[in-house]
Amino acid sequence: MRFTLLFVMAAFLTVGISSSSFAQEKKDTKKETVTSTKPGKPINTICPVTDEEVDGDITVVYEGKTVALCCKSCLKKFNKNPEKYMKKLNENKSKE
């Protein structure tokens, strides 16, 4: 009886851990739609999030365009709503 109870508890624990890690993997792949890479020259010199000068090492590629940002915090904000910041970036370019 103890062995059966122990076996059932171990089985539930294993299934719980497996589904938890699967859910984490699924979340991680969703974030890959906007990637942090540096393949080309950034299209901007001013951060679309803070309007400050950009750091050339912090970039993101969105719809084939490399966008530079001023800090990692802005990278997180950009990844949450890239359309908002791309629109702002395009508006700033049209004013120039």
- At 38-87, the pLDDT tens digits run 468 999 999 999 999 998 899 999 999 999 999 999 999 999 999 999 99
Measured distance CA(15)–CA(52) in Å, rounded: 48
| pLDDT bucket at 94, cuts 50 / 70 / 90 | low
Domain count for the chain, please give it. 2
User: Does residue 16 carry a pLDDT above 80?
Assistant: no
CB 54 within 8 A of CB 68: yes
The pLDDT of residue 46 is: 94
Same domain flag for 23 and 46: no
Q: In the structure encoding, which two tokens stand for residue 6, read together?
A: 């122990």
Q: Do 40 and 85 reside in the same domain of the chain?
A: yes
In three-state secondary structure terms, 70 is: coil
Residue 15 structure tokens: 């299934």
Residues 39 and 62 in one domain: yes
- pLDDT given at position 28: 46
Same domain (yes/no): 43, 12: no
User: Which residues span the domain enclosing 12?
Assistant: 2-32
pLDDT of residue 78: 97
Residue 56, token pair as written in the block: 């050339």
Residue 10: both structure tokens together = 């171990």
Over range 10-35, report the average pLDDT: 51
